[in-house]
Every structure is written in structure tokens, then in C-alpha cells.
Chain A
Amino acid sequence: MDIMNSFSLLLNGAWITLYISGFSMVFGLVLGTVIGLMRVSAKKYISVPAGVYVEFLRGTPLLVQIFLIYFGLPAIGMDIPSNIAAVLALSINSSAYIAEIVRSGIQSVDKGQFTASTSLGFSYFQTMINIILPQAFRNTLPTIGNEFIALIKESSLISVIGIAELTRQGQFIISRTFMSFEIYAGVALIYFVMTFSVSRIFKAVEKRMAIA
């Protein structure tokens, strides 16, 4: 097994890590926003289930959640491919953290914004979409960036359900070459390039969205 071959295997793994994390970020963000909106609802039958959802997902290990989805769902008759299971587990897990970020973001917006918007005739939903959420996202952008970075790193856990992502490719190459240090260092470096890019992208977006 030569160096070039190892390198292309690692890149292949990195690509899988990237796309699975990417999909999970998008779904996690959308789902998390919905759950976050539910959390701040004044109606108990909406806010309580959202609270239970968040507490359960934050209070159980991601690894167990991955097993639950990948091995648990087929046991009750829902067979899903491993990459779908991976995206599902990561999205759901991330959505719980995003929900908390969105909730705190909404609560950080000045109450007067809600009052002003209501007095202009906006409904609760219109107020959220047009007035509150844009400000909440702007306020919480750095925290959402953190969550995305955490997601990329935690995606290494999906190697346990046989997905040939970056960490697993590294393990595979080491099993052939026994070059543990070099390969893990390479794997770490690739993770760092990905997370650092996300961090930079968020910095740039923050800058663009900042009001002079």
C-alpha cells in the first residue's frame, strides 16, 4: 500500500465526513429552529414536548443514539442504509443543541421588538420570521459556528456503523501499514482544516452581518 493510495483513501473519507456533516448541519439547523420556536411557545402542549426532546437528546450519548437508530430501527421493521442512519442521528442530536441556541437567541432579543411588531399588525408567526429570528440568528452566529465544528468532530463516531468516513479510513490504512502516528496525525490535520474553514466562514458571515 503506497503513500498515494493511502492519501486518496483519506481524502475519500474526508469527503464522506464532509457531506454527512454538511447534510446534518442543514437538517439539524432547520429541525433545531423549529424545536427552538416550540420551546419559547406560551402553549404548554407545544413547549413541553420540545423540552423533553432537548433534554433527552442532550442527556444521552451520541454513540447510543447512533446505535439506537442504526440497529434499533431495523428491529422494529424500519431498515435504513447506514449513511442515512448517520445523517439522521447526527441531525437529530445537533438539532437539540441548535434548539437551545435558538431559544436563547430569541430570548436575547429586546421585548420591545415583539411589542412594536405586534402593534403594527404582525401575527406571532410573522413577527418571529421577519423580526425576531433574523436578530436571534445574528446574535447567536458564533455559537452556531461552535455547534457546526462540534458536529464535524463528533461525526467520527459514525465510523462504528461501518461508514468509511475519515476516521475509519485512517484506521483501515493503519491496519495495513502500522503507521499509527503518521496516519492519525494526517487524519487530525484534515479534521482541523475542515473545522478551521467553518470557523473562518462564520467569522466572515459575522462580519458581513454586523451592522456598522
Chain B
Amino acid sequence: MSEILKIKNLKKNFGKLDVLKGINISVKKGEVIVIVGPSGGGKSTFLRCADLLEEINEGNIIFEDSEIDFNSKADRKKYFIKTSMVFQQFNLFPHKTVLQNLILAPIKIKKIGKKDAEEKAINLLKRVSLLDKANSYPCNLSGGQQQRVAIARALMMDPHLMFFDEPTSALDPELVGEVLAVIKELANDGMTMMIVTHEMGFAREVADRIVFIDSGVIVEECRPEKFFYQPENERVKEFLNRIIA
């Protein structure tokens, strides 16, 4: 498998607070990386930096063999188009219907014709079992439905890499499963993904690699079986104990 993303020595601070203290990671095509760790450890900030949604203080990102110039608008745009982010709070556009939410970016940014975009949107809505909601507004959907729409919206751009920032943290417990099911299906289809989550069962099931971030550094990086059943690192053990307890 070839590398799709390589992040070198990524550093980020908010004022005097060093949130990320040099993160190095590479992601292979088709790989599912699940990022876990204690709250405030820098997981979400890392993901947002990796998707260029936060300004990066130091480091390099190499995507599909070319280094991104953070100051180049064209570079950033290209990267945004080829990657997609799914947010904790869904962030659907409330003034647009589900269908309009899906087709807006492909039409405006990829210059796809409206008919083609709609056809594609309908197929994706079928895939997330929400075809009947195509003409509803987001506020009339449950959290789980909104998040599935958000995933469909992200897929509309045919991303090469997807980021998920705690996709189920804002959901009622009974709605978590339907969203995780969609993400699992994507994993089975070979989508390259980086997922920040607190759902440990899901992490174990879906991850090719678990990355444990604490205090702004990667503390442990290994296969899920090893991470959950034979952890060696003390901080990982402590983290797992706290979750189980």
C-alpha cells in the first residue's frame, strides 16, 4: 500500500499553550486510523490541523506525494476538495434542504452539472438510507440522520481521505449505532479515514491502527488488538482502566 498522507513534526499552539508538540504520522491508502486519548490531549486539534482548518505553526503535510504550501490558496483548495471532514456538530447548512446540502459544493466547486450532482446525491442518500428525507430541512432530522447526511455530503466530493471529528459525540446513545454502521461500511469499501472517537468498541472493530495522543504527542501507535489487549505503555493502561471503570 502506498502512502497517501504524511505529516511531519506538526506543532500547534494557542498563545502560550502548546497543544501539539510535534506529531509525525503517515497514512497508507485504504487505511483506517482511529485516534484516541484523554480529553484535552490534542486529538481534535490534530485532526483540524491535518485538514488545514486550524493554522499550523510548524511542520509539513505531504499529500499524495506533494507537499502542501500552507500559504497557497490553490494548494489549500485542492487539499480541501480531495479530503472531507465530518464534524461532531454535523454543521449542515440549515437554510438548505438535504438535497441542496449535498449538491451545493459539487456544483459550485467541482462545476458538476446540476442533473449529475442530483443523481449522485440520490444514490448517496440511498446508501445512508435517507432518500425519503431529500427535501427535508436539517432541523427536521434527528441527530443521527443529520450526521448521515453530513457523511453523504462529504462523500459527494469523492474524497481520497476522510476525517471524522468525534462523529457520534453529540448524538443520543440510541442514534450512535446508525452512524457507526455507515462509517464501518465506508471502511469496508476501502476508504482512507482518520477518525477521532470515544467509542472504543467501534475503534477496536474498525481500526487498522490505533493512535493514542496525549499532551500533544503520539504516545502509542499500534494495531487495535495490541492496544486493547496487551497495552505496554503506562499512560495507555491508565486511559483504558479509566474507560473500563
Q: How far is the CA of A121 from the CA of B107 in the complex (A)?
A: 12
Per-position binary interface string of chain A over residues 176-212, scored 1 when its CB falls under 8 Å from any chain B CB and 0 otherwise: 0000000000000000000000000000000000011
Total CB contacts across the A-B interface at under 8 A: 59
- Whether A123 contacts B77 in the complex (CB less than 8 A), given A116-B91, A138-B95, A212-B140, comes out as yes
How many residues of chain A have a CB within 8 Å of chain B?
Answer: 20
B93 near A121: Cβ-Cβ < 8 Å: no
Residue B180 at the chain A interface, CB threshold 8 Å: no
B84 near A119: Cβ-Cβ < 8 Å: yes
- Whether A131 contacts B91 in the complex (CB less than 8 A), given A122-B105, A122-B109, A212-B137, comes out as no
Please give, as numbers and ranges, the residues of chain B lying within 8 Å of A112 by CB-CB distance: 87, 89, 91
- Whether A120 contacts B80 in the complex (CB less than 8 A), given A112-B87, A211-B139, comes out as yes
Instruction: Classify the interface of chain A: helix, strand, loop or mixed.
Output: helix
Residue A74 at the chain B interface, CB threshold 8 Å: no
Please give, as numbers and ranges, the residues of chain A lying within 8 Å of B53 by CB-CB distance: 115, 118-119
- Whether A134 contacts B95 in the complex (CB less than 8 A), given A119-B53, A121-B77, comes out as yes
User: Nearest chain-B residue to A135 (Cβ)?
Assistant: B95
Residue A108 at the chain B interface, CB threshold 8 Å: no
Residue A130 at the chain B interface, CB threshold 8 Å: yes
Please give, as numbers and ranges, the residues of chain B lying within 8 Å of A212 by CB-CB distance: 137, 140
Interface residues in A156-183 by Cβ distance below 8 A to B read none
Residue B122 at the chain A interface, CB threshold 8 Å: no
Residue A41 at the chain B interface, CB threshold 8 Å: no
Residue B4 at the chain A interface, CB threshold 8 Å: no
Residue A126 at the chain B interface, CB threshold 8 Å: yes
Looking at chain B, what size class is its interface with the partner chain? 20 to 34
A119 near B95: Cβ-Cβ < 8 Å: no
B81 near A121: Cβ-Cβ < 8 Å: yes
A122 near B89: Cβ-Cβ < 8 Å: no
A122 near B91: Cβ-Cβ < 8 Å: no
CB of B64 to closest CB in A, whole Å:
16
CB of B49 to closest CB in A, whole Å:
13
CB of B45 to closest CB in A, whole Å:
13
Residue B179 at the chain A interface, CB threshold 8 Å: no
- B interface, CB within 8 angstroms of A: 51, 53, 73, 77, 80-81, 83-85, 87, 89, 91-95, 104-105, 108-109, 137, 139-140, 153-154, 157
Offer 22 A-B interface pairs, CB within 8 angstroms, sorted by A.
A110-B91, A113-B93, A115-B85, A115-B91, A116-B85, A116-B87, A116-B93, A118-B53, A118-B80, A119-B53, A119-B85, A120-B105, A120-B153, A120-B154, A120-B157, A121-B80, A126-B108, A126-B109, A130-B108, A135-B95, A211-B95, A211-B137
